[in-house]
Amino acid sequence: MSFERYDVYFAGKTLPGQDPGVVRERIGKLFHADGKKLDRLFQGTPIRIKADVDMDKAIRYRVMFREAGALVDILPVMEKTASDDLTDAPATATPRMRAPQGVPDFELLPAATGSLEDCATPVEAAPLPDIASLKLAAPGTRISDAPEPTPADIDTSGLSALPANTGSLEAFKKEKEAAEIPDIRALKLED
């Protein structure tokens, strides 16, 4: 499912391992904000930072906040109602989304809720085999208990070898017809 327009929300969340005070300063510099405006951004309630943007711009905001050490939520544009405030998203309300044509409406859970544990297939751990009796054999030891194969009895008494760098393979040479060269007079090289 793809949505064309998105809203970007910030609820004061910071990346793990980030100092909240430092992140607060960085966000303050991004928005040229201090005091009450900065307090409002970090109160824990999702605040719409940017409304009705395409995915590329929403991703740019996400990257900008990540570099500052903070996390944002990107949500599809919500249906506008008379009670909507232009800057705040209800902290506990589930947004009603506009579904693409032909898809029924749906509701999303609030961010960072829900679990996929009920979807996981239970897996029992396989018992570890007992390898206490295993030992490494000395190098060169035959591992197989099968008898060694008997050598093949091939009569080579009628074979002889010529001295090195003597003899010829001309008798085995196959003559090939020369390939016809195509007419390339009509071809031209251009700069």
119-156 pLDDT, tens per residue? 778 888 899 999 989 888 888 888 888 888 888 999 99
Question: For residues 188 and 181, what is the distance between their CA atoms, to the nearest angstrom?
Answer: 17
Please, what is the average pLDDT of the chain? 79
Phi, psi of 88 (to 5 degrees): -110, 145
Q: Regarding predicted confidence, which is higher, 190 or 76?
A: 76
Domain 6-79+87-103 sits in CATH at: 3.30.1390.10
Model confidence at 87, in pLDDT bands (50, 70, 90)? very low
In whole angstroms, give the CA distance from residue 41 to residue 25: 12
Q: What is the mean pLDDT of residues 99-104?
A: 46
The pLDDT value recorded for residue 81 is 44
**d(C-alpha 46, C-alpha 90), whole Å:** 7
Amino acid (1-letter code) at residue 63: V
Judge whether 58 and 5 are in contact, CB under 8 Å: no
Higher pLDDT, 96 or 124: 124
